[in-house]
Amino acid sequence: MTATPHISDLPMPDLRTGVELVPTRDEGVTETGKDYTSDQEVRWCPGCGDYAVLKAVQGFLPDLGLRRENIVFISGIGCSSRFPYYLDTYGMHSIHGRAPSIATGLATAREDLSVWVVTGDGDALSIGGNHLIHALRRNVNMTILLFNNRIYGLTKGQYSPTSEAGKVTKSTPMGSVDHPFNPVSLALGAEATFVARTIDSDRKHLTAVLSAAAAHRGTSLVEIYQNCPIFNDGAFDAIKGADTKHDAIIPLVHGEPIRFGLEGSKGLVRDTETGGVKIVPVGTEPGQVGEDALLVHDAHQPDPSTAFAISRLTEMGYLDQTPIGIFRQVARPTYDDQSRAQIGSAQDAAPGEPTDRLAGLINGGDTWTVV
């Protein structure tokens, strides 16, 4: 088999989809990416991976079939966080690291919106790390696009929390001694219900992952490897090069054996020694493992241990090996749905005009009347 994944038809294990409560476009109205393009001039550096992601998102949003005014993009600070300005939807370019909290308030207040967060490796994992993990554990219905270029771009080239150890940057002239985060491992550890990884330049895969993320009810985290041609050019060359990508990308397709390499020469099996997973040669020769013995990817597995083990195959130095695809997609009640349900049942139990009920409230307790 080839390394091209087919992931867009992943069946949803949830009862509701991510956009189920969002009003849909009137019948007969067609929209294209142009309708989602604002009148603002895009100001990323030439060659920036953000352009490809923007194009893919603009092209993909009409496919959701939603009313455009019910889509909201919230971002933090950083190059990628300029994203909302270029989309003709509602949007907020907020403050550094805080977009998940703002989106949490918005998504909880409004069930009829499709809420998206655009963030970067510095925004989400450094200054906003706390909000990211808490958004994931709460499972508020929103989709987080984490653009990971493994560098600080807008502040001109300092190392980021995903930069490899030893990286020489303006702030680490002798090499970074900071240990990097693996965003997928972090998200799985934070009990995220949807975790995926994709690549800026693979529009087909990116679009398929975005579709699945939008359809997921709960917080979806999509890590997008994104090249910064100015401060970290070539960081993803191994997974993009025609000669190298077969060995560098481990494609994850739900229900399929995990196999990669030229002509599927490698695959994953459980490692009984470590309890994790390991890469083995695939084939019928001695020392090789047959395809039927390979680990079959199960994104719906409630236990995240195997997904976590797979995430650890990500090379945290120069990126010449990484799993790509949907690591985990499981159903768990969302915070916002449950919060609204509590409000709804409390309101059902307290009929009457709000002003009358307010009068009842403030006149409660021990009162006395002076005549």
Positions in the binding site for another protein (CB under 8 A): 23, 38, 40, 67-72, 74, 77, 84-85, 87-96, 98, 100-110, 112-113, 130-131, 134, 339-340, 342-343, 346-347, 349-350, 354-359, 361-371
CB of 66 vs another protein, minimal distance in Å? 11
**Quick one: 106 or 209, whose CB is closer to another protein?**
106
**Quick one: 91 or 325, whose CB is closer to another protein?**
91
Which residues have CB under 8 Å from 291's CB, separation 6+? 257, 259, 264, 267, 282
CB of 8 vs another protein, minimal distance in Å? 27
**Quick one: 133 or 326, whose CB is closer to another protein?**
133
Beta bridge partners of 329: 194
What does the alpha-carbon distance between residue 358 and residue 288 come to, in Å, rounded to a whole number? 74
The amino acid present at 352, given as its one-letter code, is G
CB of 198 vs another protein, minimal distance in Å? 25
CB of 129 vs another protein, minimal distance in Å? 11
**Quick one: 88 or 191, whose CB is closer to another protein?**
88
Which residues have CB under 8 Å from 26's CB, separation 6+? none
CB of 255 vs another protein, minimal distance in Å? 36
Go through 190-218 and write b for each residue having 16 or more CB atoms within 10 A of its CB, e for each that does not: bbbbbbbbbbbbbbebbbbbbbbbbbbbb
**Quick one: 79 or 107, whose CB is closer to another protein?**
107
**Quick one: 80 or 94, whose CB is closer to another protein?**
94
Angle between helices 335-348 and 99-109 (to 10 degrees): 30
Which residues have CB under 8 Å from 165's CB, separation 6+? 175, 176, 177, 178, 179, 180, 316, 317
CB of 346 vs another protein, minimal distance in Å? 4
